[in-house]
Amino acid sequence: SQQGEEDPQALSIQEGENATMNCSYKTSINNLQWYRQNSGRGLVHLILIRSNEREKHSGRLRVTLDTSKKSSSLLITASRAADTASYFCAAGNNDMRFGAGTRLTVKP
């Protein structure tokens, strides 16, 4: 079964708004990673958060991790039309498993 499960499945917002995506996982993990995928393309790594970290920032991205709830969130602030893509979390130890993703649409 898949490790990460993203929520919501789809999200549509206006440019300038913030976008929040959530991910839940099932087993203990070493780290959790967020990726972005433009339609039909490969995955691009966004940010990694280790199991002993609670929050991490990278530019307009903010990731939180709650190991007690086995959940993580990705916040994209001040969204842009170019942020339109699918976002996936991957969690695990040696076996990194992905969720089904959140399809984000940012309207100009």
> Residue 50 or residue 80: which is nearer to another protein going by CB?
50
Closest C-alpha to 47, from 27, 21, 9, 81: 21
Which stretch of DSSP H or E encloses residue 63? strand 61-66
CA–CA separation, 65 and 82 (whole Å): 26
26 binds another protein (CB under 8 A): no
What is the rounded distance in angstroms from the CA atom of residue 82 to the CA atom of residue 79?
Answer: 8
Strand partners, 75: 20, 62
Under the binding rule (CB under 8 A), the answer on residue 1 touching another protein is yes
- At closest approach, how far in Å is the CB of 4 from another protein? 8
Instruction: Identify whether 8 is preceded by a cis peptide bond (ω within 30 of 0).
Output: yes
> Which of 25, 33, 83, 85 is close enough to bind another protein by CB under 8 A?
33
Q: How many residues bind another protein (CB under 8 A)?
A: 22
Positions in 37-96 near another protein (CB under 8 A): 41-45, 48, 88, 90, 94-96
Binding site for another protein (CB under 8 A): 1-2, 4, 6, 33, 35, 41-45, 48, 88, 90, 94-101
